[in-house]
Structure 1
């Protein structure tokens, strides 16, 4: 903080609080980087490898494989199994209609068990962007399932 006070130039038109906040934040990041055993390039390479691995894994999944992590292993009646199979088929159709980015976010969250923050780090997107993508995908899937249920009730 003393260095910030000493180096501050009021003629630049920047309030001291903003200048000091930027300097303190920068110093904190510098310390974190010093304690990181990996270089920036190594960390970036790891993120890119993880992103590519998840993207490749999700794209290669077939509808049947996606179903495996959706189905509950509890014993159900044949009638419930038929209804569930229909719902799963509809869900797979709805997932296929999502954008690749939405599919990838859902795969990282539900298949890999990552949090939205971890997903944001892997995809190198902001947390708010990943949250928006996630919630839009869920909203779309719910809408598809609700429309399917309403159509079935009308029959």
Structure 2
């Protein structure tokens, strides 16, 4: 299947620049992917963020992918397009500055508490320990998780900002693997791969399961809740804590002296 797709991509992009007819066909073909990515991002965002704005940005990302795709990189166009579409949507979100300053501050405080405690303890911090570090009751701590949930999703763009030396060309050179069905399923980011693998492995079991089901099995929070026997709100809470721990782990690795 991979070889067939790669051959199709080479045919469409063999002249280096696609014609208008092929461009229109690609936009129609990948429109469902744009809507899917926008819908999934929107689930993590407040209702004031317009899905239509994300879709519009995604279309521009797709056009950018069509213009810049190089079949010589040995990467499927769908993989490259998804990367560009998602990046364009994230750029749109950053331009909208959709996270209020107050939430951004609370997210930073929460991340700092996790980073400090988990460095000191050498294990995942318990809810009670994080709440105490922040001077909050458990109820207040859980309300804080709810408030900050929209600002805690991790994606390729977030990782790239954490690893400034890893540029776009590095990423696509690293993920190209003709022996694999989908390059993103076996991303080889060198040090980054090891850091993330270690961070995910160190998560508490329930949080690790939520991350696996959400990011690898592509299930919704509701579907994960049905599998684990929890409410959607509880799954969202576990996801937020997992993301905070991952951010904290990255922060400790990239700047180990910050929380000393």
TM range (shorter): 0.3 to 0.5
Q: TM-score scaled by structure 1?
A: 0.44
Q: Rg: which structure is higher?
A: 1
Normalized per residue, which structure has more helix? 1
Q: TM-score, normalised by structure 2?
A: 0.27
